[in-house]
């Protein structure tokens, strides 16, 4: 059924994002200074796009479309070419902490104007924004690309505050381990290992 197919597609997309983040945060990460999360999110969106839109699941069950948008935990905002918000799911209303309804407002009254202007102008398809104490990764997808009609843009916001905090903590622990490895515990001076590395 359409619901089972959608659940399978969502699980695939979630598994990709989870796997990428687990590998990135693990001590066995071969590339610790490269953040693969945007790539994982892009692959997940591609899986959702291919599985949901191209397979015609939304056309088969329009109420399912509404349910998907409303129950997703990530904020979703759809805006037109002028930046006016056409649609927003409950997660957007809740996580963006807006008391007034989002629909009908311009996007720059809700999100920081600078990064969103880059998305609207096509200079970037993803940005990171700061809202109060939370950090969001915003990815834009153009609807109706290549068609001769007004093109709307879907913004998917992903809260990456905890991931950034975990990365900062790992970075701090790594720096502390490097300091301990190169410092004599009794005197606090640089040890022989540090001297030999500098000499090399």
> Mean per-residue pLDDT for 181-188?
84
> Mean per-residue pLDDT for 86-108?
82
Report how far Cα 32 is from the mean position of its chain's Cα atoms. Answer: 18
CA distance 117 to 50: 28
Chain position carrying tokens 């990064």: 115
State what percent of residues in the chain have pLDDT above 70: 82
State the average pLDDT for the chain.
Answer: 78
Cβ proximity of 83 and 107 under 8 Å = yes
pTM over cut 0.75: no
Output the pLDDT for position 62.
Answer: 60
pLDDT in tens, 161-175: 888 889 899 999 998
Output the pLDDT for position 147.
Answer: 57
Has residue 84 got a pLDDT over 70? Answer: yes
More confident residue, 31 or 139: 139
Has residue 51 got a pLDDT over 70? Answer: no
CA distance 141 to 42: 10
CA distance 13 to 136: 19
Output the pLDDT for position 146.
Answer: 60
Has residue 88 got a pLDDT over 80? Answer: yes
Q: Tell me phi and psi for residue 140, to 5 degrees.
A: -110, 140
> Mean per-residue pLDDT for 188-198?
85
DSSP labels, 7-43:
HHHHHHHHHHHHHHHHHHHSTT-S-TTS--HHHHHHH
pLDDT in tens, 116-171: 777 777 777 788 888 878 888 888 888 765 655 567 888 888 888 888 889 899 99
Output the pLDDT for position 170.
Answer: 92
Output the pLDDT for position 1.
Answer: 43
> Mean per-residue pLDDT for 38-59?
68
Output the pLDDT for position 3.
Answer: 55
């Amino acid at each position: 059924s359409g619901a089972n197919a959608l659940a399978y597609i969502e699980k695939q997309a979630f598994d990709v994002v989870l796997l990428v983040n687990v590998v990135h945060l693990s001590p066995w990460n071969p590339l610790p200074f490269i953040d693969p999360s945007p790539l994982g999110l892009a692959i997940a969106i591609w899986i959702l796009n291919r599985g949901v839109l191209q397979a015609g699941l939304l056309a088969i069950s329009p109420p399912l479309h509404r349910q998907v948008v409303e129950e997703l935990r990530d904020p979703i905002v759809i805006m037109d070419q002028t930046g006016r918000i056409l649609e927003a799911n409950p997660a957007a209303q809740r996580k963006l902490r807006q008391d007034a309804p989002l629909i009908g407002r311009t996007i720059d009254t809700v999100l920081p104007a600078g990064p969103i202007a880059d998305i609207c102008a096509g200079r970037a398809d993803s940005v990171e924004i700061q809202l109060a104490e939370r950090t969001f990764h915003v990815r834009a997808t153009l609807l109706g690309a290549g068609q001769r009609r007004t093109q709307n843009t879907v913004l998917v916001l992903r809260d990456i505050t905890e991931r950034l905090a975990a990365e900062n903590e790992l970075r701090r622990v790594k720096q502390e381990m490097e300091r301990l490895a190169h410092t004599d515990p009794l005197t606090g001076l640089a040890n022989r290992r540090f001297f030999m590395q500098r000499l090399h």
